[in-house]
Amino acid sequence: MRNFLTSFLLALSFTHVMGQKFHSDNGNGTYTNPVIAADFPDPDVILVNDTYYMVSTTMFIFPGVTIIKSKDLVNWEYCSNAVPRFDVSKCYNLDSCNRYRHGQWATSLKYNNGKFYLLFITLDEGGFLGMAEKAEGPWEIRKLPKGFYDPGLFFDEDGKIYVAHGYGKISITELNPDFSPKTNDSLVYTGNIRGGLEGMHVYRINSYYYLYGTYGGRDGIQVALRSKNIYGPYEQKVVIYDTTKGINFGIHQGALIKTQSGEWWTMLFVDSGPFGRFPSLQPVTWKDGWPMVGINGKAVTTYKKPNVKKTYPVKTFPTSDEFNSKTLGMQWGWNHNPDPTNWSLLQRPGHLRITAGKVVTNLREATNMLTQRSFTYYDDAYATAVTTKLDATKMKDGDVAGLAVFQDPYAYIGIKQINGTKYIVMVNNGKMIDSIAIDQSMIYFRTIASNATNKANFQYSLDGNTYLPLGNELRMRFSLTIFTGNKFCLFNYPTEQIGGYVDFDWFRMKPYKLNN
């Protein structure tokens, strides 16, 4: 197996292709979908003054409930992570239970009377409301007496507050000023195309109320419901159902947006493979009072940028990190709640220290696993390579530390200390595939992952120059048991005793040319 992997990886050349396209802006007045090639699912988008804000689902990652911002709907940057942590259940601490595939879902983002609002549920704990005067925060998060599935918050012109919600059967509920229910749920529409009508966003446009939602699934069907009364009766229209193979297959669930120039757009998402669900920006044309998506019933791939009356520079999300700051960048999130006593950027400046805090049996249970979204490139000839440098001097027997690709299945390359000896190990979905004893504590790890091929491979280096493969290939999946895209992870967990620690010097993400 190792000889096969050596031949395979030698056929690849690691390239510093910093000009390789990592954003959707083509620099000529057009853009190419996905507008963000990473896991930002269930988008809701609003325009406040001259800035667009988008919220997405992060579930069990904290800080979470990520908000990003843009001036032109194409070039986005991090704005805030509205929820630092959840202390509403021990499961968010990975304490004998977990919140994989649960946690925060499908948030509604609104701005009203000088305040930003977030309304969301967790499947186990119920409803939550976030409020802030600025999208950058700080956010006040409080639990509500009632939760609403896939809520669509709506502030009407007469001051009344409503929420649309439900799965299959869509209801409208009027809310009190404190966002508790003022009325009982009123059923306004039952999905009749197939099961799973959900993800409603509410708008009042001209004389109609619109409920903008989806019949979910990989081949999603985006629909609009409309009525001149918030309580119906509603009529339904399919606004896009595109099953063309490729990057727009099954595009669905998101927000309607009107630009400063009066153009209409929609931000939806596509189940895009193991790296997750990617946002897609599509033009909207109003026909007979219906917001029709795309061009001639098909989603666009490359198209002219929205007219926002100005031109703005290209922006690229941060990924690599030298760990020279006193705080983590907003691209990072912990797998479940972090334990702040067992990680630090200050104990050894220029390094991320993770201390082995709780004895566990495998990576899925590991506390303080630091994660980052997997970004892909706009050319399937390029995979994504992540490399990190690790100092394992202070590990203890039973400790395991390294670099992972995490979903279900997962795999990692790392160091495990056994009876005072350090071994480089490759584990694929809980099974030890290969190990090599080493006599040094400074080590480099790399993973090369391709969203196009669904494959990830792992390498190590003793000098930072020559990288050798170890173990076998991870066949990545987007599994609903986790329900977020595969993430790159740095970790250190104990299997015998607590207190050992490792220092990560840096984390670097670059394109990797596949020479097929």
Q: What pLDDT digit, counting tens, does each position of 425-465 carry? A: 999 999 999 999 999 999 999 999 999 999 999 999 999 99
User: Does residue 3 surpass a pLDDT of 60?
Assistant: no
Phi, psi angles (nearest 5°) of residue 10: -70, -20
- The pLDDT tens digits for 197-206 are 999 999 999 9
Query: Mind listing the pLDDT tens digit for each residue in 463-514?
Result: 999 999 999 999 999 999 999 999 999 999 999 999 999 999 999 999 999 8
Per-residue pLDDT for 18 more than 50?
no
Q: For residue 378, what pLDDT is reported?
A: 85
Q: How far apart are CA 375 and CA 382, in angstroms?
A: 11
Q: Distance between CA atoms of 45 and 306, rounded to whole angstroms?
A: 14
* Cross-strand pairs, 349: none
Reported as a single tens digit per residue, the pLDDT across 125-142 is 999 999 999 999 999 999
Q: Given this model, what pLDDT does residue 22 score? A: 75
CA–CA dist 384, 128 (Å, integer): 36
Percent of the chain with pLDDT over 70: 96
The H helix count followed by the E strand count for the chain is: 1, 38
Does 26 have pLDDT greater than 80?
Answer: yes
DSSP percent split of the chain into helix, strand, coil, nearest 5 = 5, 50, 50
Mean pLDDT of the residues in the chain:
95
d(Cα 372, Cα 357) in Å, to the nearest integer?
21
Q: pLDDT tens, 68-97?
A: 999 999 999 999 999 999 999 999 999 999
Q: Burial, 466: exposed, middle or buried (Cβ in 10 Å; 0-12, 13-18, 19+)? A: exposed
* pLDDT tens profile 149-172: 999 999 999 999 999 999 999 999
> 359 falls in which pLDDT band (50, 70, 90)?
very high
Say if residue 9's pLDDT is above 80: no
Asked whether the whole model's pTM tops 0.85, one would answer yes
Q: Is the pLDDT of residue 15 over 70?
A: no
Amino acid at 308: V
Q: Report pLDDT for 21.
A: 67
Q: Is 419 helix (H, G, I), strand (E, B) or coil?
A: coil
Task: For residues 342-359, give the mean pLDDT.
Answer: 98
Dist CA 167 CA 170 (whole Å): 6
- 288 token code pair: 């007979």
pLDDT greater than 50 at residue 263: yes
Domains and CATH numbers, the chain: 23-304 (2.115.10.20), 332-513 (2.60.120.200)
Which pLDDT score, from 0 to 100, does residue 286 have? 98
Is the pLDDT at 20 greater than 60, yes or no?
A: no
